[in-house]
Amino acid sequence: MVRWPNVQTIFIQEARDQLRDRRTLFMVFVLPILLYPLLGIGMARLSEAFQDQTRRVVIVGCEHLAAASAANPEAPPLLDETGSRFNPSLFDNPDDAARLDVLCDDDPSWHDPTHRRERLRGGDADAVVLIPSDLADTLRQQRRVAIPIAYDSADEKSQLTYFRITRLLEAWNLAIVEQRRVAEGRPEGSTDPVRPDAQDVATRTEAGSSVWARIFPFLLVLMSLTGAFYPAVDLCAGEKERGTMETLLISPASRAEIVLGKFFVVFCASIATALLNLASMGATAFALAAQFNQAPMRLRPSATGAAALLAAPSPVSLGWMIALLIPLAAFFSALCLALAIVARSMKEGQYYMTPLYLICLPLACLPLVPGIQLDPFTSLLPVTGVSLLLRALMQGDYASASQYFPLVFTPLVLCGLLAIRWAIDQFKSESVLFREAEHFDLVGWLRHLWRDKPQTPPAGMAVLCYALMLVAYWFLAPFFPVSGWSLVLMQVLVILGPPVALALLLTRDPIRTLRLRATRPADLALAGLLALTLFPMVNELRVWVDALFPMPEAVRQALERFKDLIPDPATAFLLLALTPALCEEVAFRGYILTSLERSYRPAWAIGLSALLFGFMHVLLSLFQQLFNATLLGLVLGLIAIRTRSLFPCIVFHLVNNGLAVGVGALTSAPWAGRLFRDPAQALFHGPITLLTTALAAVLVMRLAGQPLRGRSVSAVSSPNPERIRTS
């Protein structure tokens, strides 16, 4: 039971200490005020300098342009009277002609590709236009002529110059075509009967919001993460270095109250940092928009497009940012606090900053990729979902935002609760007092792993096993062809290999670790019956998931090709039912669940193992299997915890997968209409689904209510708790 007065006392004390820290005050209050105005000024000046910079264009064969103008006097010339500028009438904005400096050069070496490349790389020109010698005759005969333009695509200035010249030549081409139409007396539209007419329905505010909606969520994620991490490291690793953690732990407050007090301090710091950054960003955006709108027209390529892009974000958008900041800051605060407790010094805490940023930054940058939209898949990604939701709200897409609100907030809440729970569990361990050792003896650590092997693995080994499976899949998958037997071998090497190896090498009781204990025949029968009764509901969920998360057509075709490689039902049963049942159960309900059960309560251990089981199907198979695999993982974890044996889990998994493999034979039977309302989708009639689901619920409640058999894994203590001397 959490006593909130104790939480309040710890919160006030820790917040007072943070406000006395100059680094925290600078990061929270001073840096946002200085950073964004300076960035805004720098960006504005760089933009002006880049836009105003004149590009040099070398024209080889200017005399051929003069002959072409003489042959077509009614058409506008490409160059002006001086010959040092392009014709301003060919530009949408006549001032843009001054941004291209023309140099007529008849040096024959420009015709040599090697010499031309060297001079472009050397900066003698940003682009070279080679005028053909037969230009006048070709235009007079009304034939098409190609004008080569040499540029360096590796140089941004040269590439921009090429684009400008291309648009200029297109305008010159249209002018020549129009002159010919008038001279021949043809009606308007005869030369271009069909042409696009762009009609942008977005208002200036909406267009401006589209740009800010991509930038602001990224910065919001970045600043809320930064504002949470530094105070968390100081409140945990900093106290270990200062030696004040012992004083806090002997106070009347419980470990949960201490963690919650520190969490609210970190949460407030993250909120304050993000809010001040938002305020500074908003003020800078308004200033940039005002300065841009007052700038000369030559700095704005188009009257509506570029001006709209720098329209300041609306107050409604800022309000949505503040509203979404609260759950995001809570998520980062819980995660950073849990990581900071792991750190034994401020230096070690700084090391944890890099991997955390490397994980969060790609998720935050994903909404910047064109084509990434808010959908059921992206909304479940903790950081990406918030960024996309905020982008939709800033763009006024309230229909999509309201639809995905629950999907966005559910992963944040679950991950935040897991992180806080992890932090509380760490505070309950005496390792929270230890400061960083001066030296690390690798040989001694390895000797300790082998000599002082625990009877069953700790929770950290579950993470190691999961990571080893993913790494093994990443490096071995390219060497296996797409075939049925390679699937069996991959299952054995990737899924079965790591947990078996870890259990044999790093535990004293592999049988207990993998739950390879005999069980009653009643447990086996109960597991098989439970899988049978759950199958109709699992099929219903599969159809719902397919409707919410449509499978890409390329993936569907790949699955069809894989099915063609399976010759008969017996092979399909071996590949898709028996092998996954053995390998996955040994890994997840054997090694991983046993590891988690030592440090967490059974409900938490079952939930975590089920989530890992579901995400393994996402990473190694299909995203559509996440929900069903997680749901079945909960049932399998309950079976493993209650029976203390892996064999009922294998039976359940085998029956479930076997039904999925053999349901095609049932739906094609003459009497299939009596069981299925939709044989193509393998959907059972409603009464059958309701009846089997109710029976499955009764079996689950009976399983959950029966007493545990045998000793709990969490009750097994690890022998030889002596630590390694690292000094």
Amino acid at 405: F
Range 376-392 average pLDDT = 81
When mean pLDDT is compared across 189-203, 249-263, 338-352, the lowest value belongs to: 189-203
Instruction: Render 398-429 in DSSP notation, one character per residue.
Output: HHHHHHHHHHHHHHHHHHHHHHHHHHHHHHTS
What's the CA gap between 195 and 189, in Å, rounded? Answer: 9
Q: Per-residue DSSP letters for 38-54?
A: HHHHHHHHHHHHHHH--
Instruction: Say what the pLDDT of residue 205 is.
Output: 57
Lowest mean pLDDT of 35-39, 128-132, 216-220, 472-476, name the range.
Answer: 35-39
- Measured CA angle at 548 (ends 547, 550), to 5 deg: 65
Instruction: Check residue 366 and give its pLDDT.
Output: 77
Q: Please give the structure tokens belonging to residue 9.
A: 């006392």
Backbone angles phi, psi at 58, to 5 degrees: -95, 125
Residue type, 361: L
- Looking at residue 348, its amino acid is E
Query: Higher pLDDT residue, 431 or 154?
Result: 154
- DSSP string for 159-181: HHHHHHHHHHHHHHHHHHHHHHH
pLDDT reported for residue 434: 56
What is the band of 33 on the pLDDT scale with cuts at 50, 70, 90? low
User: Which of the listed ranges 226-235, 440-449, 629-638 does the model predict with the highest average pLDDT?
Assistant: 629-638
Reply yes or no on whether the pLDDT at 725 is more than 50.
Answer: no
Both tokens assigned to 433: 């007092």
Quote helix, strand, coil % in the chain, to nearest 5.
Answer: 70, 5, 25
Helices 686-705, 521-548: crossing angle, 10 deg rounding: 130
Bridge partners for 103 per DSSP: 58
Q: Which residue has the higher pLDDT, 107 or 714?
A: 107
C-alpha torsion angle, residues 106, 110, 111, 117 (rounded to 10): -170
DSSP-derived secondary structure for 654-719: HHHHHHHHHHHHHHTSTTHHHHEEETTTTEEPHHHHHHHHHHHHHHHHHHHHSPP-S--GGG-PPS
pLDDT at 552: 65
Tens-place pLDDT, residues 272-325: 888 887 777 777 767 766 666 555 444 344 434 434 445 556 677 677 777 888
Maximum average pLDDT range among 265-279, 636-650, 657-671, 702-716: 636-650
Top-level class of domain 53-184: alpha beta
The pLDDT confidence band at residue 27, using thresholds 50, 70 and 90, is low
pLDDT of 554? 64
Instruction: State the Cα–Cα distance between residues 393 and 209, nearest whole angstrom.
Output: 10
CA-to-CA separations, 412 to 256, 322, 682, in angstroms, rounded:
20, 16, 35
Interval 230-246 mean pLDDT: 79
Give the pLDDT confidence score for residue 582 in this predicted structure: 94
- Average confidence (pLDDT) over 248-254: 77
Tell me, what's the pLDDT at 307?
40
**425-477 residue pLDDT tens:** 777 776 665 555 445 555 766 676 777 788 888 888 898 899 889 888 888 88
- Please state the rounded mean pLDDT for residues 145-170: 84
Do 101 and 57 touch, CB atoms closer than 8 A?
yes
- Beta-sheet strands, E only, within 594-685: 676-678, 683-684
CA–CA separation, 127 vs 118, rounded Å?
Answer: 12
How does DSSP classify residue 79? B
The distance of Cα 77 from the centroid of its chain, to the nearest Å, equals 53
Query: Using CA of residue 331, residue 332, residue 338, residue 339, what is the dihedral sign?
Result: positive
What's the rounded Cα separation, in Å, for the pair 131 and 235? 71
The pLDDT, as a whole number, for residue 610 is 93
Q: What is the sign, positive or negative, of the torsion defined by CA atoms of 261, 264, 268, 269?
A: positive
Residue 130 backbone dihedrals phi, psi, to 5 degrees: -100, 105
Q: Could you tell me which of 494, 549, 542 has the C-alpha nearest to residue 659?
A: 542
The burial of 314, by beta-carbon neighbours within 10 Å (0-12 exposed, 13-18 middle, 19 or more buried), is given as middle
Decide if pLDDT at 407 tops 70: yes
Mean pLDDT calculated for residue range 164-181: 83
**More reliable by pLDDT, 711 or 101:** 101
Highest mean pLDDT among 35-44, 96-105, 689-698: 689-698
pLDDT for 32: 60
Give Cβ neighbours of residue 374 (< 8 Å, ≥ 6 apart). 385, 388, 389, 391, 392, 397, 400, 401, 404
Q: Which is more confident, 533 or 389?
A: 533
At 682, list the tokens: 């393998």
Residue with tokens 């200029």: 168
Q: What is the pLDDT of residue 357?
A: 78
- For the stretch 133-145, pLDDT in tens is 888 888 777 788 8
Contacts of 684 (CB under 8 A, 6+ apart): 536, 539, 675, 676, 677, 692
Residue 129: closest CA among 164, 94, 175, 92: 164
Q: Is the pLDDT of residue 719 over 50?
A: no
* 223 and 327 Cβ atoms separated by less than 8 Å: no
- Tell me, rounded to whole angstroms, the distance of Cα 56 from its chain centroid: 42
Check residue 28 and give its pLDDT. Answer: 59
Burial class (CB in 10 A: 0-12, 13-18, 19+), 632: buried
Give mean pLDDT, residues 239-266.
Answer: 81
CA–CA separation, 479 vs 493, rounded Å? 13
Which residue has better confidence, 709 or 119? 119
- Give me the sheet containing 55-60, strands edge to edge: 100-104, 55-60, 127-130, 149-150
Residue 375: strand, helix, or coil: coil
Domain residue limits, the chain: 4-48+204-433, 53-184, 453-714
Q: Which two tokens stand for residue 151?
A: 């540029």
Residue-level pLDDT at 528: 93
Q: How high is the pLDDT of residue 29? A: 61
Residue 534: pLDDT over 80: yes
Residue count of the chain, please give it. Answer: 727
**pLDDT value of residue 308:** 43
Closest of 118, 122, 125 to residue 60, by C-alpha: 125
In contact, 718 and 429? CB cutoff 8 Å: no
pLDDT at 609: 92
Helices 626-643 and 686-705, packing angle to 10 deg: 40
Are residues 531 and 659 in contact, defined by beta-carbon separation less than 8 angstroms? Answer: yes
Please give the residue that has the higher pLDDT: either 211 or 687. 687
The percentage of the chain sitting over the pLDDT mark of 70, rounded to a whole number, equals 80
pLDDT at residue 355 greater than cutoff 80: no
Q: What is the pLDDT of residue 302?
A: 40
CA-based nearest residue to 649, from 714, 710, 703: 703
Q: Work out the mean pLDDT of the chain and round it to a whole number.
A: 78
Query: What pairing do the DSSP bridges indicate for beta strands 149-150 and 100-104?
Result: unpaired
Q: 570-626, pLDDT tens digit by residue?
A: 888 888 889 999 999 999 999 999 999 887 888 889 998 999 998 888 777 777 788
Residue 13, pLDDT above cutoff 70: yes
Query: Strand 55-60 relative to strand 127-130: parallel, antiparallel, unpaired?
Result: parallel
What span, in angstroms and rounded, lies between the C-alpha atoms of 429 and 435? 14
The answer for 321, left when phi > 0, alpha when psi is -120 to 50, beta otherwise, is alpha
Per-residue pLDDT reduced to its tens digit, 665-711: 777 777 778 888 888 888 888 899 999 999 999 998 888 876 655 54
CB of 507 closer than 8 Å to CB of 490: no
Tell me how far apart the alpha carbons of residues 610 and 615 are, in angstroms, rounded to a whole number. 9
Burial 378-413 (b: 16+ CB within 10 A, else e): bbbbbbbbbbbbbbbbbbbbeebbeebeebbbebbe
Whose CA is closest to 11, among 242, 264, 236?
A: 264
